[in-house]
Chain A
Amino acid sequence: MATTENGRVTRGTLVIDADRCKGCELCIAACPPSVLEMSTDVNEMGYRYPLLHDGCTGCTACQMVCPDYVFDVYRLKAPRA
């Protein structure tokens, strides 16, 4: 199975509503494969927001801890390289 640059298989993906984010970074610590990273840019409220790298498993951990309902989690039918 083909893997991505960081050596992980991507089984899920996110829709991130960056404009709702208040930059608390709880999702960064909660993500089991550590594929979320805070942006250097800020959203319209002035907060940094999470960005997604390859390797998401679609586990919904970020969605569970997010106080601002930023994440929609999708599981891919076939793993993506």
Chain B
Amino acid sequence: MATTDITIDTRTAPPPPASKAAAGAPSLILGEHSLCPGCGEPVALRLLLETLQDLDVVHRSIGVVGHGCYGSFVRIMDVDVLQCLHGRAPSCATGIKRMRPDSVVFTLQGDGDMVNEGLQEILHSAARGENITCILLNNGVFGDTGGQQTATTVLGQRTKTSLEGRNAEQHGYPIPIADMVASLQGSGYVARGAVSTPAAVAKTKRMIKRAVQSQLDGNGLSLVEILTMCPTGWFVPAAEGADYQGSSMEPVYPIGELKSPEPQTQEAVHA
């Protein structure tokens, strides 16, 4: 098929009775972000914002963000946001939630932020059973500072500081943070999703919705770990980021719900 065959007008909306099935940007996003081509984080953040709208809690939502690439994204989000020191988002969220119990408090952290810089914050918040929702954007590298290895980098993965691939003798083993949080009594809902395929995106959206619902129900800390592509940090072309994630990260971090208040909900997410 040659490009010259294209005759479809994709600049203007079709006339009625055509109906809009999906809009590109949610109405809570004001402007354009500056994240790299092929980045998975904007997709995850869109799902979060759509969930807040679906549950009608935008007006009482407070986001608590750490440090990472998503810091350049939250400035175009039409939601109240507090930016914290590195890794301290769950602790700040604890204070906000305790002072304003009616608010819906979510944290937004990367793997470097949550697992390297603030591992104790998330673990202690989960152990205390703080009623907050934590969103972990796990891409296995410190994307914001140039792609260095983090604690969640999988064995064999090349980063700026492990150019020959991470090896266990020299760098140790990756930390499965979602499994650790799920093992703590204070956590109410823990799941791991991805944004690499349309099916994974749809499944992850259901996970985020259940996590926020878990907070509304007062079940303790809820965590959704979302595997996001970072083709820039992984040294792969943007179009191959999804395949690379599927072959390298997903075998180590399997997708699915790890902990749920109601056992029968496994089918609900996998349906």
Binding site for B on A (CB under 8 A): 5-6, 12-18, 20, 22-26, 28-30, 37, 39-40, 47, 51-54, 58-61, 63-77
Binding site for A on B (CB under 8 A): 1, 3, 5-6, 8, 10-14, 17-25, 29, 32-33, 35-43, 46, 195-198, 201-202, 231, 238-239, 241-242
Contacts of B33 in A (CB 8 A): 68
Contacts of A39 in B (CB 8 A): 3
Whether A60 touches B1, Cβ cut-off 8 Å, given contacts A15-B11, A26-B38, is no
State how many angstroms separate the Cβ of B41 from the closest Cβ of chain A.
8
Whether A13 touches B242, Cβ cut-off 8 Å, given contacts A47-B37, A72-B22, A72-B24, is no
B42 lies within 8 A of A15 (CB): no
Contacts of A75 in B (CB 8 A): 18-19, 21
Interface of chain A: mostly helix, strand, loop or mixed = mixed
B198 lies within 8 A of A64 (CB): yes
- The answer for the CA separation of A44 and B211 in the assembled complex, in Å, is 40
Most buried by A among B5, B10, B239: B10
Whether A67 touches B39, Cβ cut-off 8 Å, given contacts A51-B6, A72-B23, is yes
B239 lies within 8 A of A30 (CB): no
Interface residue from B3, B41, B196 paired with A51 (Cβ < 8 Å):
B3
B25 lies within 8 A of A69 (CB): yes
A13 lies within 8 A of B197 (CB): no
Tell me the nearest residue of chain B to A34, going by C-beta.
B1
B20 lies within 8 A of A72 (CB): yes
Whether A65 touches B1, Cβ cut-off 8 Å, given contacts A15-B12, A29-B242, is no
Contacts of A25 in B (CB 8 A): 38, 238-239
